[in-house]
């Protein structure tokens, strides 16, 4: 599986490939190959890298991070249920 956001997330975390390798337990050479698209990632590798970056694995795969834990005022359906979707 491709990790389109790995390099950008690593750079935003201000980590070198070596530092991410130490934090995640994934070899630096593997991180390099994943960032350049020369290698696909196994699900276990994605989880390790996400843990090293302290993010959810879905973010590395192009997912969206929701920062608000609590619903915003007016963000409820009639009847009190929180909106799901867009």
SS3 state at 76: strand
Stated pTM of the model? 0.72
Angle at 21 between CA 1 and CA 60, to 5 degrees: 35
Domains and CATH numbers, the chain: 6-60 (1.10.260.40)
Write the CB contacts of 70 (distance below 8 Å, at least 6 apart in sequence): none
Q: How confident is the model at residue 12 (pLDDT cuts 50, 70, 90)?
A: very high
What integer pLDDT is reported at residue 6 of this predicted model? 93
Q: Which two tokens stand for residue 23?
A: 């934090």
What's the pLDDT tens digit per position in 20-71?
999 999 999 999 999 999 999 999 999 999 999 999 898 888 776 555 555 5
């Amino acid at each position: 599986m491709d990790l389109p956001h790995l390099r950008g997330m690593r750079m935003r975390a201000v980590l070198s490939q070596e530092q991410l390798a130490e934090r995640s337990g994934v070899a630096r050479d593997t991180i390099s190959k994943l960032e350049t698209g020369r290698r696909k990632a196994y699900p276990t590798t994605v989880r390790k890298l996400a843990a090293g970056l302290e993010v959810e694995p879905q973010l590395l795969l192009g997912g969206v991070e929701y920062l608000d834990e609590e619903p915003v005022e007016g963000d409820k359906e009639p009847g009190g249920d929180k909106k799901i979707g867009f």
